């Protein structure tokens, strides 16, 4: 086994600015070429990983998927074992979540770690081919990956291609069925598949789709072993993870954090004053809006968040300074506009939910408004062809309980916050940190 790097943190943000007590690092953006990649991490040769070897490495780790579902990679690998020799493997870097930038920055920094992870996973399962799936609009990601594939020509155990989302598909482009549809040139929308991609996906073959950050962690875990991987972190969630943090002024940055780091420390080193924040969106648009007291008490740990009823989702923490009721309204409007127009509960239900919530914000309500929202959530829930409507329902339902006083204020046409504009919109500038 290759000897691990002398420093165990930062890992993915190696070379980036380390902040605070040393558990948080800003992601640098310059690309690590193959020659530097080898000297930084050591060669993963042989790229041809045996399944039993990889299973052993994974069994001692707690590597959960970083794309949103947080499924343990060891269990995913076991589920795909029966399909050995027939599989297509896909590194999903399409990052449909509007507020997330972590996958894009990871590809910009470490394309070879992503490709190593895909190669290692694919070789263990004797895959036939691999794809790295990215947004059609992210031309820099495509160029970096093309150059990386040229650098490593002949090293990977199977052919790897770059595939693109359909340009007109937005938020839902990263869902598994949309990824399969795009690679199969079937439009790139989420589609109903009689069989899951595990059985019949790309080119009618069983298809394993893993998030690019998951694969980058796998590339390090396979090199250095589970003891190294778990040498930092907290109970139930070892290692590190990438988070996209955005502020009310719409600046954002990607940080790598050691699992278990307090969110309050992350906010402090990024220069966030608690007095300027009203609430935060945890997990992204499929996540939950969280009040400030709760948000400051949480830890960046999968196990801790699960226990508290939250999740990392797409690894987004977006801070806002406006009225939480208005913030939810803006997100529901956005999601309603992102419907792929295929399922009634989605393309008719979400606009109705967004409209009812908008009326609440503007004070054009009656005493039935909150129960009308709850009814709409019941009607939409579980009835979409993909997870998008359920994400919107989770956001609305949890806000109904978490922000009850604010909602009741709006129901009586008053609001205690200074503004109704939303700051939970695409970030545009880079965070500097302290
Ligand atoms: S639920 Fe909405 S986004 Fe998902 S497949 Fe149906 S119409 Fe498309």
- Domains, in order of start, for the chain: 31-231 (3.40.50.11540), 324-411 (1.20.1440.230)
Cα–chain center distance at 136: 18
User: pLDDT at position 209, please?
Assistant: 96
> Which residue's alpha carbon is nearest to atom 5 within ligand 1?
385
Instruction: Count CB-CB contacts under 10 A for residue 105.
Output: 23
The tens digit of pLDDT for each residue in 85-94 reads 999 999 999 9
98 CA to middle of ligand 1, Å?
17
334 CA to middle of ligand 1, Å?
14
Percent share of the chain, pLDDT over 70:
92
398 CA to middle of ligand 1, Å?
21
Residue 231 exposed, middle or buried by CB count within 10 Å (0-12, 13-18, 19+): middle
Q: Which of 340, 352, 354, 381 to mutate to test the pocket of ligand 1 (most atoms within 8 A of CB)?
A: 340
The two tokens of residue 405 are 């006083």
116 CA to middle of ligand 1, Å?
33
133 CA to middle of ligand 1, Å?
20
Spell out which residues line ligand 1, taking CB within 6 angstroms: 172, 190, 339-343, 346-347, 384-386, 388-389
Q: Which atom of ligand 1 is nearest to the CA of 341?
A: 7
Asked if residues 166 and 173 have their Cβ atoms less than 8 Å apart, the reply is yes
What does the pLDDT profile of the chain (434 residues) look like in tens digits? 444 454 578 999 988 899 988 999 999 889 999 989 988 887 756 566 789 889 888 887 889 999 888 889 999 999 999 999 999 999 999 998 888 999 999 999 999 999 999 999 999 999 999 999 999 999 999 999 999 999 999 899 999 999 999 876 677 777 888 899 999 998 888 776 666 888 889 999 999 999 999 999 999 998 888 889 989 988 778 899 999 999 888 788 999 999 999 999 999 999 998 998 999 999 998 899 999 999 999 999 999 999 999 999 989 999 999 899 989 998 998 888 888 788 888 889 999 999 999 888 887 767 788 889 999 999 999 888 788 889 999 999 999 999 988 888 888 778 877 666 666 754 334 444 43
- Tell me the C-alpha distance between 396 and 66, whole Å: 24
Q: Which atom of ligand 1 is nearest to the CA of 389?
A: 1
Asked if residues 109 and 242 have their Cβ atoms less than 8 Å apart, the reply is no
Rounded alpha-carbon distances, angstroms, from residue 161 to 89, 93, 116, 261: 11, 13, 14, 37
346 CA to middle of ligand 1, Å?
6
Q: Which of 389, 390, 392, 394 to mutate to test the pocket of ligand 1 (most atoms within 8 A of CB)?
A: 389
Q: Which atom of ligand 1 is nearest to the CA of 386?
A: 4
- Tell me the C-alpha distance between 391 and 409, whole Å: 25
> Which residue's alpha carbon is nearest to atom 8 within ligand 1?
340
- Tell me the C-alpha distance between 40 and 138, whole Å: 27
392 CA to middle of ligand 1, Å?
12
> Which residue's alpha carbon is nearest to atom 1 within ligand 1?
384
User: pLDDT at position 61, please?
Assistant: 82
User: pLDDT at position 387, please?
Assistant: 82
Q: Which atom of ligand 1 is nearest to the CA of 350?
A: 2
Q: Which atom of ligand 1 is nearest to the CA of 192?
A: 5
The tens digit of pLDDT for each residue in 171-228 reads 777 788 889 999 999 888 877 666 688 888 999 999 999 999 999 999 999 888 888 9
pTM for the predicted model, two decimal places: 0.91
- Tell me the C-alpha distance between 347 and 382, whole Å: 14
């Amino acid at each position: 086994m290759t000897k691990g790097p002398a420093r165990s943190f930062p890992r993915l943000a190696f070379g980036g600015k380390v902040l605070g007590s040393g558990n948080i690092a800003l992601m640098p953006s310059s690309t690590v070429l193959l020659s530097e990649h080898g000297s930084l991490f050591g060669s993963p040769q042989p790229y041809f990983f045996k399944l039993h070897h990889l299973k052993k490495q994974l069994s001692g780790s707690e590597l959960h998927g970083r794309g949103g579902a947080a499924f343990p990679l060891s269990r995913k690998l076991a589920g795909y074992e029966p399909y050995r020799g027939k599989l297509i493997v896909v590194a999903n870097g399409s990052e449909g979540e509007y507020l997330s930038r972590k996958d894009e920055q990871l590809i910009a920094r470490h394309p070879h770690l992503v490709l190593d992870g895909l190669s290692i996973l694919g070789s263990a399962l004797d895959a036939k081919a691999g794809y790295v799936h990215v947004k059609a609009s992210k031309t820099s990601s495509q160029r970096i990956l093309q150059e990386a594939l040229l650098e490593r020509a002949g090293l990977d155990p199977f052919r790897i291609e770059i595939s693109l989302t359909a340009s007109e598909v937005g938020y839902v482009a990263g869902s598994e069925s949309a990824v399969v549809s795009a690679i199969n040139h079937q439009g790139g929308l989420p589609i109903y598949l009689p069989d899951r991609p595990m059985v019949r996906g790309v080119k009618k073959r069983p298809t394993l789709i893993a998030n690019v950050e998951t694969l980058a962690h796998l590339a390090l875990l396979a090199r250095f072993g589970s003891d190294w991987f778990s040498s930092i972190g907290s109970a139930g969630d070892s290692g590190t993870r990438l988070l996209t943090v955005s502020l009310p002024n719409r600046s954002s940055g990607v940080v790598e954090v050691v699992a278990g780091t307090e969110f309050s420390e992350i906010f402090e080193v990024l220069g966030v004053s608690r007095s300027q924040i009203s609430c935060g969106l945890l997990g992204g648009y499929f996540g939950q809006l969280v009040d400030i007291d709760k948000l400051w008490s949480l830890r960046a740990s999968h196990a801790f968040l699960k226990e508290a009823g939250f999740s990392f989702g797409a690894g987004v923490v977006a801070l806002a300074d406006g009225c939480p009721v208005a913030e939810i309204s803006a997100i529901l409007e956005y999601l309603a506009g992102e419907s792929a127009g295929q399922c009634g509960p989605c393309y008719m239900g979400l606009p109705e939910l967004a409209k009812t919530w908008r009326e609440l914000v503007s004070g054009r309500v009656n005493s039935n408004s909150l129960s009308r929202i709850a009814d709409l959530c019941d009607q939409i829930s579980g009835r979409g062809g993909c997870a998008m409507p359920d994400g919107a329902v989770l956001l609305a339902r949890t806000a109904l309980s978490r922000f009850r006083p604010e909602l009741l204020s709006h129901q009586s046409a008053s609001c205690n916050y200074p503004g109704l504009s939303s700051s939970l919109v695409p970030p545009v500038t880079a965070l500097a940190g302290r």
